[in-house]
């Protein structure tokens, strides 16, 4: 990690994940989402695997797992064939990611280090692709995106998966009754840190503005009740997809977004 002083927010995030990784170690990674043999088009996390497969061209492509956590998704990207670099602010998370790489024999195709999203320790224009899974709502977005643009090659692709605020629902969610039913306070059990929050539409637009063009896909409408209907999760995801297709204005109520962002090619190419 660069020799920088951590902000108070970064210190709190590090402390949370130092404890979380010890209490919730990842010891198994399913590879179905990146094998292309089965589809779950209504699942936002599987969508990341589909996109990673779509943009894979050769085994010398470098991919940055932006805020890699314990290396869960990094293993999937290595399975596809990318050379995967990952960073995380938590040393324990990084140790777990390295152990996963040993477990799946991907240590030669992965590299993990301690780092902060707002100050990356990578050269300019180093990566062909960047994928960040549920990370922007934990960091200072403007600084983090500036770093993404800096380390991404011209013509490269950045993909983010994020929770977003939606009209009506989040207002109700933040009422006294809503927070009583589903608390929003920091919790290791519910995987909620003290500083995290869903992204506003204005923040999504600010992220898009740093790239040449973008695609935004929405997920999690009725399937936001997945915690209560685990056995029906797949059916609910498919119903969300049906609603988004035939009633397009409902997309604004989708609580998760997958952003695919394209950096401009070099002008003199």
- How confident is the model over 69-93, as pLDDT tens digits? 999 999 999 999 999 999 999 999 9
The model's pTM is 0.94
Q: Taking 90 as the threshold, does the pLDDT of residue 231 lie above it?
A: no
Please give the pLDDT value at position 169.
81
Q: What are phi and psi of 27, to 5 degrees?
A: -125, 5
Scored b (16 or more CB within 10 A) or e, 32-48 reads ebbeeeeebebbbbbbb
Q: Domain ranges for the chain, please list them.
A: 8-262
pLDDT tens, position by position, 239-248: 999 999 999 9
Distance, CA of 109 to CA of 101 (rounded, Å): 9
Mean pLDDT computed over every residue of the chain = 93
pLDDT in tens, 125-183: 999 999 999 999 999 999 999 999 999 999 999 999 999 999 888 887 778 777 777 77
3-class SS of residue 23: helix
Judge contact between 193 and 16, C-beta under 8 A: yes
Reported as a pLDDT band with limits 50, 70 and 90, residue 4 is low
Protein fold of 8-262: Rossmann fold (3.40.50)
- pLDDT given for residue 227 in this prediction: 67
Token readout for 196 is 């995290």
Closest by CA to 33, choosing from 45, 15, 17, 20, is: 45
CA 4 distance to own-chain centroid: 24
Quick one: which of 38, 59, 57 has its CA closest to 49?
38
Q: Report CA-CA distances (Å) from 221 to 53, 204, 239.
A: 26, 18, 9
Quick one: CA dihedral 62, 66, 70, 75, positive or negative? negative
| 3: pLDDT strictly greater than 70 | no
Nearest CA to 77 out of 131, 137, 128 is that of 131
Q: What is the pLDDT of residues 193-209, one digit of tens each?
A: 999 999 999 999 999 99
Mean pLDDT of the 31-39 span: 92
């Amino acid at each position: 990690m660069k020799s920088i002083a951590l902000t108070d927010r970064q210190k709190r995030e590090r402390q949370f994940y130092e404890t979380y990784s010890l209490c919730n170690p990842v010891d198994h990674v399913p590879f179905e989402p990146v094998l292309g043999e089965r589809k779950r088009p209504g699942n936002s996390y599987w969508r990341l695997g589909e996109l990673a497969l779509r943009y894979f061209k050769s085994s010398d492509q470098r991919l940055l797992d932006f805020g890699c956590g314990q290396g869960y998704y990094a293993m999937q990207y290595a399975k596809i064939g990318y050379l995967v670099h990952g960073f995380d602010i938590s040393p324990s998370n990084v140790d777990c990611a390295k152990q996963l790489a040993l477990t799946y024999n991907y240590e030669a195709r992965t590299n993990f280090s301690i780092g902060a999203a707002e100050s990356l320790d990578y050269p300019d224009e180093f990566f062909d692709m960047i994928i960040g899974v549920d990370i922007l709502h934990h960091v200072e977005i403007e600084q983090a995106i500036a770093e993404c643009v800096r380390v991404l090659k011209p013509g490269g692709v950045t993909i983010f998966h994020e929770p977003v605020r939606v009209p009506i629902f989040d207002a109700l969610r933040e009422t006294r009754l809503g927070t009583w039913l589903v608390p929003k306070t920091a919790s290791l059990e519910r995987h909620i840190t003290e500083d995290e929050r869903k992204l506003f539409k204005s923040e999504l637009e600010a992220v898009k503005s740093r790239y040449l063009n973008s695609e935004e896909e929405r997920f999690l409408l009725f399937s936001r009740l997945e915690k209560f209907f685990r056995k029906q999760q797949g059916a609910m995801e498919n119903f969300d997809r049906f609603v988004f297709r035939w009633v397009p204005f409902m997309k604004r109520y989708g609580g998760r977004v997958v952003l695919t962002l394209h950096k401009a090619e070099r002008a003199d190419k």
